Amino acid sequence: MSEWQEFPKIELHLHIEGGAPPEFIRQLASEKGVSLEGVFAEDGAYAFRDFGHFLQVYEAATSVLRTPEDYLRLTRAVLAESAGHGVIYTEMFLSPDFCGGRDLAAWREYLAAIGEGAAQAEREHGIIMRGIVTPIRHFGPDKAKETALCAAETAGDFITGFGIGGDERAGKPRDFAWAFDCAREAGLRLTAHAGEWEGPDSVRAALDDLRVERIGHGVRAIEDPGLVERLARDGVVLEVCPGSNVALGLYPRLEDHPIARLREAGVKVTVSTDDPPFFRTTMTQEYDDLARAFGWGAEDFAEINRVAAQAAFCDEAIRDAIVKRLEAAP
Ligand SMILES: [Zn+2]
């Protein structure tokens, strides 16, 4: 077992469908008599060639998730996996697009099921989950508005954030400003995927036009020293997913990844897995790889988790509880 497996961790960037263990998806497909040709590699893991193909395989694999009950089981499966890697608190991206096609009544049913799965996992494994409602950028601004209305109507103790995922190359952040304004007015905290497939301008636009406090990925900010300085000065938190970036070919090797340089420049970085089984990673694997590539040890990871705790979209009682659990670690 890796020395990092039981180290207490906070994860801020995980897509619920992207966390689906392949064996869970295979099981669901066989129960429903659905054929998933081309989704799996010979060793049983998910198979894809590049980012475009990844999105296709992702949609095919998750097409077997069709009912609230499926999402209850999915939530339990993903949280059990995370808890097995020392995660004590996690935020998951949830998309009304996949949960009832952005119909509010259907979304409420899916959300109740996900909440029940999360409550069961918390009782069984002690892991706490909060949800970030997330439109899919390449589905366009009109669908994002519908998603924002679902988010606004269900904002509360469990749904605490709003973000945007999908293909960053589709449209501009300002096209989604209405959706983000709607979510902000409902009291939701904001993040956006940016600076992954597009460069520094995309990060700047997310900050200026969507007024987010965290950035999903954001790593390509490193290409602009002025932006790095701004991120550090304003305390913008990056949800960095190193294994995802390497798996999708953004950087050839982890050693080339800018996470250490961003951190040295004073940017608040955190570590997450994004869509772990798709990228053949886990939180333990991320820590193992970062320790090897950059010589990081317990003090580095403890600091990264303190940053994540302060950046978590949760209330102060939960924050106090997770900070205590981080401090209690050996
Ligand atoms: Zn993501």
How would you write the pLDDT of the chain (330 residues) with one tens digit per residue?
Answer: 899 999 999 999 999 999 999 999 999 999 999 999 889 998 999 998 888 888 889 989 989 999 999 999 999 999 999 999 999 999 999 999 999 999 999 999 999 999 999 999 999 999 999 999 999 999 999 999 999 999 999 999 999 999 999 888 888 999 999 999 999 999 999 999 999 999 999 999 999 999 999 999 999 999 999 999 999 999 999 999 999 999 999 999 999 999 999 999 999 999 999 999 999 999 999 999 999 999 999 999 999 999 999 999 999 999 999 999 999 876
User: In whole angstroms, what is the distance from residue 125 CA to residue 106 CA?
Assistant: 28
Q: What is the CA radius of gyration of the chain?
A: 18
User: In whole angstroms, what is the distance from residue 104 CA to residue 159 CA?
Assistant: 14
State in Å: Cα 164 to ligand 1 middle. Answer: 9
pLDDT score recorded for residue 330: 67
State in Å: Cα 165 to ligand 1 middle. Answer: 6
State in Å: Cα 91 to ligand 1 middle. Answer: 11
Catalytic residues: 196
State in Å: Cα 330 to ligand 1 middle. Answer: 31
- How far does Cα 222 stand from its chain's mean position? 21
User: In whole angstroms, what is the distance from residue 318 CA to residue 10 CA?
Assistant: 12
3-state secondary structure 78-116: HHHHHHHCCEEEEEEEECCCCCCCCCHHHHHHHHHHHHH
- Both tokens of 90, joined, read 């996690």
Backbone region of residue 130 per phi and psi (left: phi > 0; alpha: psi in -120 to 50; beta: other values): beta
State in Å: Cα 14 to ligand 1 middle. Answer: 6
Would you tell me the crossing angle of helices 51-62 and 22-32 to the nearest 10 degrees? Answer: 50
For residue 236, give Cα distances in angstroms to 37, 83, 272, 308: 42, 27, 16, 11
- Both tokens of 137, joined, read 């950028």
**CATH architecture group of domain 9-327:** Alpha-Beta Barrel (3.20)
State in Å: Cα 122 to ligand 1 middle. Answer: 23
Q: What is the pLDDT of residues 258-287, one digit of tens each?
A: 999 999 999 999 999 999 999 999 999 999
User: In whole angstroms, what is the distance from residue 112 CA to residue 129 CA?
Assistant: 14
DSSP 176: G
- Both tokens of 292, joined, read 């090897």
State in Å: Cα 103 to ligand 1 middle. Answer: 23
pTM, two decimal places: 0.96
